[in-house]
Amino acid sequence: MGMDLLNVMDFPILSLSIFLPTFGALVIWLFVRGDNAVRWAALGVSVATFLVTLPLALQFDATTAHMQFEEFHPWIATFNVNYQLGVDGISMPFILLTSLLTIICIISAWECIQTRVKEYMIAFLVLETTLIGVFCALDAILFYFFWEAMLIPMYLIIGVWGGKNRVYATLKFFLYTLAGSVLMLIAVLAMAFKAAPEGVSTTFSILAYMDYPFDFTWQFWIFIAFFIAFAVKVPMWPVHTWLPDAHTEAPTAGSVILAGILLKMGAYGFLRFSLPVVPDASQYFVPFMVALSMIAIIYISLVAMMQKDMKRLIAYSSIAHMGFVTLGTFMFTQVALEGAIFGMISHGFVAAALFLCVGVMYDRLHTREIGDYGGVVNVMPVFAAVMMLFCMANVALPGASAFVAEIMVLMGTFDASSAAQAHLSLSTKWVAIGAATSVILSACYTLWMYKRVIFGDLVKDSVKSMSDMNMREFGYFVPLILLVAWLGLYPLPVLDVLHASVAHLVEQATTSKLVAAQALAQAAPVLDAVHP
């Protein structure tokens, strides 16, 4: 009833969710003076945005796979580019994840950011606009606009407020992601002309692309173009090398939003474009995607074990966990796909919390080197307990959200559908067994880091001077603790939201377009004769 009321009133809840942060940033830029006032104003804007996004969850109809809260307005009429928004059960949770993590990012930067505070807060609010926009866009040009615009505030956050090698890390991040995005734009333009209905020169509707029967050649090259763009963002091996550098140099809040949201955009792209738009090519590339996913899960986990910097270790851990996401995505089963999406949501909270833990210690000791710590539990017992909870979640201990995600991906992979298994010379059962080794590997590097940093004798004078968490720090950990535990113990509400949309996606991904494409090709000469 509530959703119907919003539709009747044509209330633009998605537009408000997208542009409220930027409007707030504009107000802060023009009218707010003083660093402390800027911090409170930015927090107020981020909280208001979160409250605006709540009706998306409270009034969401989980029984349908159709897009909801849709908005449509002509934008560039000459090229049939439209301002088209909508959310389904796949995209809606990521909007809430973005708005919640933005609040945590602003609170976490309250004391550690002391220079150009106004510019920092403005950059974060503009970044929130671009991230929510990606998850709402149903027009390919609008999607691309938000996808690329995200680079600007993230570039500034790392490049201005990052570490000593921030310029190198920022340029590497910018060039990697921009290079992949150029190919995505070429693919979008090609599809716009190919999928245009009769009498229209172009169409940029993502929903139209899902319905259009592209032949295999078109699907092959479209998949390649999108794969490069999305693989860089995930990131997948071997285009992952920008991520550890970006994480190492980014301020704490920058690492939180990078791991919590930006990595999810690549995997979301596979769900929104690759599987439903080019299903035959997606099935063709299953062995390739499985191979890259397994490299991420096993090899990158081994690389994480060798790290001496806590941020780099967690960054490599993120790549390994995202390997689970891409593996589940290309198994074409309901369970594996739901596990992959649930894993993205879970990782958004767990990785964000681990980077916040590193930030808490860095604010006191100004080093991220594991060897510079030891015996922290003796001076920061509350912090040690909090960090232990998130380390256990990173290991996918039963009762944590990551356990639900990984067990679903493993179950879905073990019993993969014919669409995936037909293209794998190796049984998916062996793939699942190989992926399960990550449970051991993640325990090795996570618990090794925790043991060396938290336990041991308190011998370093620098560590002796550290004080336990204050109320502000403890305050932003509380919602993350509650969410990780809630998703681990009672994941059903989130899975219920995903179910209808994922079932529809599985149907799209396992239904070949080749017969329809062949029929369309045979009908083309007839149509040309009728409409010369």
pLDDT tens per residue, range 15-63? 999 999 999 999 999 998 988 999 999 999 999 999 999 999 999 999 9
Please name every residue paired with 81 in a beta bridge, in sequence order, or none if there are none. Answer: 76
Angle at 389 between CA 383 and CA 395, to 5 degrees: 135
* pLDDT at position 512: 85
- Residue 102: predicted pLDDT: 94
Angle at alpha carbon of residue 435, lines to 322 and 394, rounded to 5°: 50
pLDDT of residue 2: 44
**What pLDDT is recorded for position 524?**
55
Q: What pLDDT does 426 receive?
A: 58
Instruction: At 150, give phi and psi (nearest 5°).
Output: -60, -30
Cβ distance 243 to 315 under 8 Å? yes
Q: Give the pLDDT score at 464.
A: 81
pLDDT score of 8? 37
| 532 CB burial (10 A radius; 0-12, 13-18, 19+) | exposed
Residue type, 410: L
Q: Is the pLDDT of residue 527 over 50?
A: no
- φ, ψ of residue 81 to 5 degrees: the values are -95, 130
Give the Cα separation of 450 and 428 in Å (integer). Answer: 34
Cβ atoms 154, 254 nearer than 8 A: yes
Report pLDDT digits (tens) over 354-393.
999 999 999 888 888 888 888 888 899 999 999 999 999 9
Q: How many CB atoms lie within 10 A of CB 256?
A: 26
- Cα distances (angstroms) measured from residue 373 to each of 118, 247, 308, 364, 389: 33, 20, 11, 11, 19
Is it the case that residue 222 has pLDDT exceeding 90? yes
Is residue 499 within 8 A of residue 338, CB to CB? The reply is: yes
Calculate the alpha carbon distances from 266 to 99, 202, 435, 506 in Å: 19, 25, 21, 19
Distance of CA 403 to the CA centre of its chain: 18
DSSP 8-state class, residue 75: E
CB–CB of 43/106 below 8 Å?
yes
Retrieve residue 509's tokens. Answer: 């991904």
Is the pLDDT assigned to residue 4 strictly greater than 90?
no
In our burial notation (b when 16+ CB lie closer than 10 A, e otherwise), range 446-481 reads beebbebbbebeeebeebeebeebeeebeebbeebb
Average pLDDT, the chain: 88
Determine the average pLDDT of the residues in 456-485: 87
Q: With bands split at pLDDT 50, 70 and 90, how would you rate the model's confidence at 132?
A: very high
